[in-house]
Structure 1
C-alpha cells in the first residue's frame, strides 16, 4: 500500500522511481485535441517524453533462435533458383545455349542448397516431409513446400536433359515449366516472412515481395553475367538494371511507410548490409550495362557484385527482423500508432456534421 500523501507543501512520502511516464499514445492524444480545437493554445505536457520499456525489460516476443546461415541462406538461394529458371527459359527460347545451360545447373544447385538450409533449420529431415502430409492454402509454408516439390523435378529434368543431350523436347518443356513457376519460387518466401510476428517483416508486408523479386532478379542476372559469353549476356544486363531499380525502390518505399520500424533496416548490422547491397547492386548494374557488352572480365566482375548484393539484402532483412523482435518498442509502438489512427478516424467521423 502506498504511504505517500498530497499536502499543501507538495507530495509527502513519495517513493522514488514511481513517476508516471507519458508514452507516444498520450502525445498523439494531445495532438488530436489540438487539431480538433479542444486543447488550449500553448498547452504542453507536464512530463517529458520517456523512453519506452517493457515489463522488467523483457522482450514482448520470444527471441528467435534461427541461424542466419540457414534462414538468410534459404531466402537467398531460393530467390536465385526461381529467377534463374526464368532467365534460363528466356535464354533457351532465344537461342542462347551457354547461358541457358549454366542457369539451369545453377538453379538446381541453388534449390538443393536452399532445401538443405531449410531442413537444417527445422532440425530433423522428417519435419520437411511432415509438411507435405496436407495441403493448406492459408499457410505460406505449406504452399511453399508443395511449390518446391513441383518445381524441383522440373528444374532437375531441364538441367539433366541439357547436360546429357537427351530428350530435347521433354527438356524444353521442363525448362518452360520451371520458368513459369520461377517467380512464385522467388517470391513466396517474402509472404512467408511477412506472415510471422517479426515486426520488421510483418510491417513491410506490402513491399517485401517486390524487395525479394528485385533481389532474386539481381542474383540471377549476376549469375548469368558470371557464366555467359559476351555475345549472349544482353538479357542479363537488362534484367540487372530492372532488378536493381525494383529492389531499391521497394526498400525505400518500405522504409518510408513502416515508420519507426525502419530504424532496424538503417542501423546496426542490418543497416550496413543494406547499404552495401545498394552500392554493390548499383555498381554491378552500371558495370554490366556499360562495360559488360564488350569485356568478359567486366561482365564477370559486375555479375559477382550483383550476386554479392543479393546476399547482403537477404542477410540485411534477416538481421533487421531479429533486432525488431528483440526490442519491444518495435512491437508496441506500431500497434499504438494504428490505434491512434483508428481513434482519429472515429473522432473525425463523430465531428462531421450530420445530414438532415
Structure 2
C-alpha cells in the first residue's frame, strides 16, 4: 500500500469471476488470470553481482585458519615446555602464512595491491583491519620461526651479534603472534558476512564462530600429523573441542538463518562439501579419542580434521557464490525482513511505509 492507492480508480466488481474453462466455456472453474510469479530480474541478470573471486580465496580462508590455530598451539607449547610441538606449530603456521599470501596475491593480481591496503587503517572495513592483523601476526611469527630455524641449524646461521637479540625476542614474539591468532582465524568470516551476498550476509551472527572452530580442528589435525603422540596431547584436546564447536556452531548458524538463504548450504556442490565436512570432523574426533595415542591412527585422524576444515571453508564459499545466481535468494529474505519490520511498527524510514 502507498499514498497513490487513494487516487486509484475503483475496481469494477462486475468484472470479477469472469473466467473461461480450459475448453473456452465460461463457468465456475476459472483459469488463472495472472500466472504464478517467478523470480526474475532485469535482462535475466543477477540482482546481486557475484564477487569476482576464484578458488584462491577459499584456499586463503583455509590457510589463514591453519595459521591462526597453529599460532595458538605454538604459544601453549611455549608456555608448557613442549619444544617439539612448539617448533612444529610455528613452522606449520609460517608455511600456511606463506601459501596463504601466495593465494591472496594471486587473486589480487600483484603484491602492490596488498601493500596499498596498509597505507590506511579503517576500522569499519574488515579487509583493512584484516590486512593489519595479518601483518602483525606475520611479524611476530617471523621472529619466532627465525629462532627455531637457527636452533635447528645448530646456530650456524650468520647472525653474529644478532643471535642473542633474536633469542631474547623469541618468547615475546611468539606470544605477540598468539594475540593476533584468533582474529586472523575469524576476520575472514566477518569479511564474507559484510558483503551483500545473500547466504554470507545471513550468517553474520555465527560464521565467525564456525571459522574459529574450523581453524582449531585444522591446526590441531596438522599438529597431530607432524608431532609425536607424546607431545601432541594439547593438539588432541584442541581437536576434540574444535569438532564440538564446529558442528554446534554450524547447526546453530543454519537454524538462525532465513530458511531460503540457508538453502545453498544444503544443495549442490556446497551441500556435498559441508555434509562431508561434518562426517570427516566426527570421524576425526572419534579417531582422536579412541586411538590418538597411536601414531598411525593419529595421522589418519589429523588428515580427516584437515579435510573437514578445508571443506567447511570451500563449502561456505561455494554456497555464497551460488546464492547470487538466483533472484529468489535475494527477494524472499528481503520481503520477510520488511514484513517483520512493519509488524514491529518500524515505518519511519525510507524502506518501510505505513499501511
Q: Same fold (TM over 0.5)?
A: yes
Aligned residues: 310
| Counterpart pick for 1:127 among 113, 126, 131 | 113
Give the aligned partner of residue 28 of structure 2: none
Tell me how far apart the structure 2 counterparts of residues 218 and 91 of structure 1 sit (CA, whole Å): 17
Give the aligned partner of residue 235 of structure 2: 236
Tell me how far apart the structure 2 counterparts of residues 288 and 265 of structure 1 sit (CA, whole Å): 27
2:217–2:242 CA contact under 8 A, matched in 1: yes
The structural deviation recorded for 1:345 is 2.0
Give the aligned partner of residue 317 of structure 2: 318
**2:128 pairs with 1:142:** yes
The structural deviation recorded for 1:180 is 1.4
Tell me how far apart the structure 1 counterparts of residues 15 and 119 of structure 2 sit (CA, whole Å): 70
The structural deviation recorded for 1:82 is 0.8
The structural deviation recorded for 1:342 is 1.3
Q: What is the TM-score of this pair, normalised by structure 2?
A: 0.83
For residue 64 of structure 1, give the secondary structure of its aligned residue in structure 2: coil
**2:73 pairs with 1:90:** no
Cα shift readout 1:258-292 (whole Å, capped 9, x = no counterpart): 12111110110000000111011111111112201
Give the aligned partner of residue 335 of structure 1: 334
Give the aligned partner of residue 208 of structure 1: 207
Tell me how far apart the structure 1 counterparts of residues 291 and 280 of structure 2 sit (CA, whole Å): 16
For residues 258-277 of structure 1, what are the structure 2 equivalents within 5 Å?
258=257, 259-277=259-277
Tell me how far apart the structure 1 counterparts of residues 17 and 124 of structure 2 sit (CA, whole Å): 63
Give the aligned partner of residue 111 of structure 1: 97
Give the aligned partner of residue 283 of structure 1: 283
State which drifts further: 284-293 or 317-326: 284-293
The structural deviation recorded for 1:174 is 1.0
The structural deviation recorded for 1:325 is 1.1
Give the aligned partner of residue 18 of structure 2: 10
Tell me how far apart the structure 1 counterparts of residues 33 and 70 of structure 2 sit (CA, whole Å): 59
For residue 66 of structure 1, give the secondary structure of its aligned residue in structure 2: coil
Tell me how far apart the structure 2 counterparts of residues 53 and 19 of structure 1 sit (CA, whole Å): 19
2:67–2:94 CA contact under 8 A, matched in 1: yes
The structural deviation recorded for 1:56 is 4.1
For residue 332 of structure 1, give the secondary structure of its aligned residue in structure 2: helix
The structural deviation recorded for 1:312 is 0.4
Cα shift readout 1:299-335 (whole Å, capped 9, x = no counterpart): 1111011011111000001100100111111111111
Q: Which runs of 5+ in 2 are unaligned?
A: 1-11, 21-30, 152-162, 347-355
For residue 230 of structure 1, give the secondary structure of its aligned residue in structure 2: coil
2:214–2:242 CA contact under 8 A, matched in 1: yes
Structure 1 residues 58 and 164: CA distance shift in structure 2, 3 A: same
Structure 1 residues 332 and 168: CA distance shift in structure 2, 3 A: same
Cα shift readout 1:179-220 (whole Å, capped 9, x = no counterpart): 111001111111111111111111100000000000000100
Tell me how far apart the structure 2 counterparts of residues 189 and 260 of structure 1 sit (CA, whole Å): 23
1:274–1:313 CA contact under 8 A, matched in 2: yes
The structural deviation recorded for 1:168 is 3.1
Give the aligned partner of residue 58 of structure 2: 72
| Counterpart pick for 2:41 among 54, 67, 75 | 54
2:50–2:197 CA contact under 8 A, matched in 1: no
